[in-house]
A and B are shown apart, each in its own frame.
Chain A
Amino acid sequence: MFLASTVIMLNEAFGRALLNTSYFWAEETVRYLMVWAFFLTVGAAGSAGYHIRTELLVERLGKRWRQLCHFLSSAIGLSFSAILFYASFPQIYRYYTMGMMTESNLDIPLWVLFLAMPIGAVLYFIYYFSCLWRTLKGEDPFAGGTPIKIDF
């Protein structure tokens, strides 16, 4: 999806710059492809240790306190993803009753595109659930998230 949106954007760039044509749908397609790519990888990014966090204090704590922190952190992640999931349905329902479509001539109902959010929320939830599980088994669920992966 990510590569597809790169290709579409490239096509749009060349089209606009060299051929004087502009595809009004290109912008929207790229946006929604990336939004989907984002929500579908939000859990995977966690498992691969990409989410930003601060280890400064935690790594100085004793094992028991550290596990408590991991437990709380997992619980916070679980709560947030659960709320994200729950909160997405009124909006999906509203898009559905309103019948709002995309702005360009893609003609896709927005409620379909918005489904990315509950799906992403489930994947996010599963990730934090596994963190919780690993904490309870006595492992460090957030190990391996090195700062080198942070791209800023």
Chain B
Amino acid sequence: MFLLSALVLTLIFLAIGTHVSVALGLVAVGLALLSDGVPTTVIAQTAFKSVNSYPLMAIPMFVLAGNLMMKGQIANIMIELVGSVVRAIKGGLALTVLITSVFFAAISGSSVASAAAIGASTVEGLKRESYPIGFSAALVAVGGTLGLMIPPSLLFILIGSIVGMPVDKLFIAGIVPGLMEAVLLMIATVYLAKRNNYGTNVRRPDWRGFGKRLPAATAALSMPALVLGSIYTGFLTPTEVSAFAAAYAALLGLFVYRSITAGKMWSVAKESLLQTTMIFTVVMGGSLVGFMLARMGVSQQLVSYITDMGMSAWQFLLVVNVVLLILGMFLDGVTLVVLTAPLLFPIAGALGIDPIHFAVIMVANVEIATLTPPIGLNLFVMSGVAKIPVHEVARGVLPFFGVRIIGLMLITYIPSISLVLLR
């Protein structure tokens, strides 16, 4: 009973605009005070250990690496490089944007940062080639979400450290689903461009231009290869790779592309630290709630309730997808994961679902959540970049939404898409 009041209280706190971290924290405190045999000091213990985790340490450094790469001209260089050949087909510029999104997804751990970086340098260009602005903004917003699935991914790090799973395996698991989603999006884009006559400015492939631009882009292009390669071969742990990626991005920015000065470095580092703190506070609040639910035996009861119901794995996955899609409309990605992972993973395990596969399903849901109104961060970002209202971006996203659902279903019901590289 008082669990229900706790839930209602949480929702009220969130609705009145309380910071997610303290809202969750205070609800956990309330549960601790009302339970027997739980001293208040568990709040301090749990809050401390929730951020004192080695896998979590990859987050600040991947954030820093991503932020450094987003500065300056790297997005333009990539778009020109890809565009010089891809624009030979109708809708080519839109495809170029998607391919560049895949590249940014492979260097950045988040979805918003890459959407912002790509959006700034493409929305104008798309407009000139008769793409409606709503479509362009939606395209960048949708492409940005690939950053969550294609490694490195802050979400996988978060899931790995909350549930206690190897982050390197999660990263590897995200590669094929991420590429599959990208291909689905590209097919949809070409179809939409054909049907609506977008991107009429078709050029002949400019291989010479491609060759000329390639050397400048090589340094940036090699970064995803190095990051993925060293994780895939087990050469470095994800946390070590994150430090390496940050250093590499700093070198690129300072010496190769000269997109950043040493003084600017400092402010980017500061910004990255504050973003990390923001993520960690939510992790802290979520862990407190998760701890109390485990301590009160709620997680255990939920597991036996579901298994006693005789629910099969596929039914459970369907329910999870529906619930996450609905929750995802209102919650941001970090909160969604931090709140649901501790409850859902034990059930998935009890039903014999591979936890790595389940983590990929979760990430696919969060990708969609960043695109669904009313709270969809990529919608907000693109509304800011393209200077159009949020609902116009959302309308543009609508056709892609179907594609995402198809992708989600494929990922959910074909486990080998996620697990093939791990066998």
Contact = CB atoms under 8 A, between A and B. Distances in A.
B243 A87 contact: no
A6 B67 CA distance: 15
Nearest to A7: B243
Nearest to A124: B22
B135 interface: no
Given A52-B332, A76-B22, A31 B53 contact: yes
B236 interface: yes
B240 A91 contact: no
Contacts of B57: 5, 9, 30-31, 34
Contacts of A34: 51, 56-57, 60, 276
B310 interface: no
Given A2-B269, A41-B274, A91-B44, A10 B243 contact: yes
Given A54-B17, A76-B18, A152-B332, A45 B281 contact: yes
B148 to A, nearest CB: 7
Chain A interface extent, by class = 35 or more
Given A12-B240, A17-B236, A54-B14, A152 B112 contact: yes
The prevalent SS among residues of A at the interface is helix
Interface string A141-152: 010001111111
Contacts of B240: 9-10, 12-13, 16-17
A51 B20 contact: yes
B246 A77 contact: no
Contacts of A46: 19
Interface in B13-41: 13-23, 25-26, 29, 39-41
A112 interface: no
Contacts of B192: none
A150 B278 contact: yes
Contacts, number: 210
Interface string B28-72: 010000000001111111011001111011001101101000000
Interface string A86-125: 1111110010000000000000000000101100000000
A81 B18 CA distance: 14
Interface in B147-185: 148, 154-155
A129 interface: no
A73 B18 contact: yes
Contacts of A86: 40
Given A52-B19, A84-B44, A152-B110, A37 B333 contact: no
B244 interface: yes
Interface of B: 13-23, 25-26, 29, 39-45, 47-48, 51-54, 56-57, 60-61, 63-64, 66, 110-113, 116, 148, 154-155, 230, 235-236, 239-244, 246-247, 269, 272-282, 330, 332-335, 366, 370, 374-375, 377, 380-381, 384
Interface of A: 2-3, 5-7, 9-10, 12-13, 16-17, 27, 30-32, 34-35, 37-38, 41-42, 44-46, 48, 50-58, 69-70, 72-73, 76-77, 79-81, 83-84, 86-91, 94, 114, 116-117, 128, 142, 146-152
